[in-house]
Structure formats: structure tokens, C-alpha cells
Amino acid sequence: MKDMNSTIASNISEIAKLARKFNCFYLAGLHQGTCKPFLVGGHQVGLIRPDILKHLERFPECYVTLKVFRVTGKYVELNPAFRDYKERSSRIAAVLQSLKKEGEICALKGWRDECFEVSTPFYHESLMEMDRSAICLFGIRNYGVSINGYLFHPIKGLCIWLQQRSFTKQTWPGKWDCFVSGGLAVGYGIMETAIKEVAEEASVVGDLAKKLVPAGCVSFYFESERGLFPNTEYVYDLELPQDFKPENADGEVETFELLTAEECVQRALTTQFKTTSAPVLLDFLIRRGFINPENEPNYRHIIELLHVPLQTIYKWPQTDILTNGDGENLQR
């Protein structure tokens, strides 16, 4: 087996290896079957790893009258007695605050005081909210916006602005990242978030911000020690003037740098680049023809790994989409 693996390893391109890296959970962990579906209000909204479940299982004992989680052999369920958004959110928040105080879960050290929505997939009905730092503990789908700031340089051709993240950021400090990106927080729309983020992170406002063009989304499933990341990024392109210089307004950016497309690829392949931002950059370079079937032997493989079927993965109990009218498979 080892020989076979090394043969393959030497035959796949560096870009394909990167695409496999940001999909390490999709390609490996998912199939090991050690994670349990997490259900809220009858809908699968996440997956829970055994190391996290170990902590959560203690919580029924803390609540004398009402257990928080019901753990069966096949899934973990938020107590269905918590009937509405408010009650679910506060019960989960209490558990997370306890765990945060204990200090044993790495991800909770980066508590954000910013909540993400947990919702039913298709009708997008809100089920509850949860602090952003805890989303990865429950493998809850994470939505964000990412903006490709680019220009066509008369000599260098396609050039792309990258940002270096501030060294004080809770996640991926000091790493290189896309031009601008941000998570979809409770109460904000998608385009609204894109407009807010380009203003805060790069001082793009007014007529220039109106040039944002939605260009699709990328989906991938990453895993790190912190947890599970089934991420979908709504992608926007923004052609910037030659003389534009981004200026950070919120202290979250260390610096910006304008790179050629080739320099971007090389930067993305280093450990200095935020792994979970590489999908947006690769998608942009593919859509603009810089990475293409003639120069990338694993072209189809990479494109498949930029669009992994997250909605198909999160549909426990498994039901046939057409015959059983499984609304979960018709996500917004």
C-alpha cells in the first residue's frame, strides 16, 4: 500500500495536493465513520468527533431536570424539549461557557463574541445561534464571503492583491490570505457582508464597492486539531484600478501585497498561506484561465475538490432525495 501511495503522490501536482489538504476531512476522516451526525429540531446540522463528544456527554449530568444532548449509537441530538431559537441558543451557550472555563478545548480559547446562525438547509429556517469559535466543534456548516481583488497589469498581466492577516488574529495569525474575507454573522446578508468587509478590511467604498461581481461559491471540508470545517465561501470578484492601494481600517490586516498570478500560486503552496483560503484563490485562477486543462494535469480533480457535495453529506437519516421529499437536499 505504501508503495502505491507514494507512486500516486509523485504523480499528482502540487496544486492537487493542496486541494486534497483543504479537503482532508472529505477525503479521509468522513469515511472512518467515527463522527456522529448532530441533529437539531430533526435536521442534521453537523458532525461531532469522538474527542468533542467526550466533553459534551458530561453535560446531561450537570442539568438535573433537563439533559442538553441525547447521545445514541447513531447520532447526537440537541434535546428536542428546547423548543425555540432562544432556548436552544441559551442552553448551548451555557454548555460552551462551562467548557470554555475548563480550558480543555482549544477552539474555545478563541471565543469571538460573534454568533453564527445554525439553520435548516433548504428553507433556511433559523434553529439557533452559536459563538463562531464553537461552530467547528459541532461540524456545523460555515458560510463566509471572499473577495478577489485583481487587476490586469500592462506588463505583468493578471495580478492579485493578497493580505497578510494580523498577528493578533485568533485564527491563522500572520498567514497570507485572500484580498478580503469575512464570516456570515447573524443578521447580515451575503452581499451586505461583502460590502462591509471590503470597507473595513481594505477601505473599498462608494463606486468602487459597487463593482463587486458575485461569481459563485466554493465548498470544501477541512479538519484541524481545532475541529471540523465544512465551509462554503460566496465568492466575489473586484477589478481594482492600477493605482489603488488597499488600506486596512479595522486592525485585522498586517499588510497587503500585489502579486502576479504565478506568484500567488507559489505563495498558496507555502505553509505561510491560510489553507482554508486557498480554495477561493484556486477557483479564481481557474475561472480566469490561469490554471487550465493544458497546464494542470489534475484539473478536473481540483475542480471537483472546490465543490464537494456538503449538502449531500449532511442528510442523516439517509433518504432518497426525490422519492422521500428530503428538503435538506435543496439548500439555499
Contact 219, 308 (CB under 8 A): yes
Per CB under 8 A, contacts with a second copy among 116-135 are 122-123
What is the dihedral sign for C-alpha 176, 284, 187, 309? negative
Using CB under 8 A as the binding rule, whether residue 21 contacts a second copy is answered as no
Q: How many residues bind a second copy, per CB under 8 A?
A: 56
Cell of 81: 424539549
For residue 279, say if its preceding peptide bond is cis, omega within 30 degrees of 0: no
Residues in the chain: 332
**Rounded to whole angstroms, how far apart are CA atoms 255 and 246?**
9
Using CB under 8 A as the binding rule, whether residue 330 contacts a second copy is answered as yes
Per CB under 8 A, contacts with a second copy among 203-232 are 213-217, 219, 232
Residue among 172, 196, 287, 316 that touches a second copy (CB under 8 A): 287
Q: Pick between residue 137 and residue 178 the one whose CB is nearest to a second copy.
A: 178
User: Which residues make Cβ contacts (< 8 Å) with residue 254, sequence separation at least 6?
Assistant: 163, 164, 165, 166, 167, 174
**Rounded to whole angstroms, how far apart are CA atoms 125 and 198?**
28
Q: Give me the long-range contacts of 58-64 (CB less than 8 A, separation at least 24).
A: 59/95, 59/98, 62/98
User: Site map for a second copy, 243-282, x if CB under 8 A?
Assistant: ----------------------------------------
Using CB under 8 A as the binding rule, whether residue 317 contacts a second copy is answered as no
Residue among 22, 69, 229, 234 that touches a second copy (CB under 8 A): 234
Q: Pick between residue 104 and residue 125 the one whose CB is nearest to a second copy.
A: 125
Among 82-90, 241-249, 258-266, 297-305, the segment contacting a second copy (CB under 8 A): 297-305
CB of 49 to a second copy, least distance (A): 17
φ and ψ of 76, to 5 deg: -120, 130
For the CA atoms of 8, 9, 15, 17, the dihedral, rounded to the nearest 10 degrees, stands at: 110
Q: Pick between residue 57 and residue 304 the one whose CB is nearest to a second copy.
A: 304
Using CB under 8 A as the binding rule, whether residue 307 contacts a second copy is answered as yes
Interacting residue ranges for a second copy, rule: CB under 8 A: 1, 4-5, 7-8, 11-12, 16, 27-28, 31, 122-123, 189-191, 213-217, 219, 232, 234, 286-289, 292-294, 297-301, 303-304, 306-312, 320-325, 327, 329-332
